[in-house]
Amino acid sequence: MLPMVIAVTCIAAIAASFIWWWQTKAPPIPEHLQNMGGDFTLQSADGPVALQGFRGKVVLIYFGYTHCPDACPMTMANWASAFQRLTEKERARVRGLLVSVDPERDTPETLKEYATFFHSNIIGVTGTLDALRDITGLYRSDFVVEKEGESEDYEVGHMSFVYVIDPQGKVRGLLAHDSPLQDVIEQIRNALRVAS
């Protein structure tokens, strides 16, 4: 009888270990996200910011602008809520990058004020229009400056996806700007499981 109890206990322990390992393992990158993204360097109010400088962290990337009336502030507020619900240890390994596709109006200083209004883990960056077009192309995104003449009152049409970058610098998830908060948290935690 004792050998049977020991055997059952061992099998249960092995099964529990496998379940724990499976639950803590990051899911594979979906096929449609493979070969998307790449490193880039843009300007913040505190100097150049390189995506590769965030290795070991999860980064949320969003292409938007500060004069955006709806999707951009909604996205930033969503990030802030998600960051607040993470543990302190998780939050230390997560950053948000608001990449402005309106460099004419969004100076690095303006972006810093806008981004940190939502959360201190969000960094605003921008660059030249040519650099921004190259970067959005890497992420299969796009934007159009809808400007007529010299007016300062114009909109920028842009895609509104959030790219979830894992600690190895790979695009691991894609969210809508208005994704439910729990989905944002889940994507962040899935990406945090990736070994840096």
Give the pLDDT of residue 29.
67
Q: Which two tokens stand for residue 184?
A: 């944002």
- Contact criterion met (CB below 8 Å) for 76 and 98: yes
Residues 40-77: pLDDT tens digits? 999 999 999 999 999 999 999 999 999 999 999 999 99
Strands (E), 22-158: 41-44, 47-50, 58-64, 94-100, 122-125, 143-146, 155-158
pLDDT of residue 152: 82
Paired tokens of 187: 């994507």
Q: What's the pLDDT score for residue 177? A: 93
For residue 169, pLDDT beyond 70 = yes
Domains (range + CATH), the chain? 29-192 (3.40.30.10)
Residue 105's nearest CA partner among 152, 44, 175, 45 is 152
Tell me, what's the pLDDT at 1? 60
Mean pLDDT, rounded, for 103-120:
98
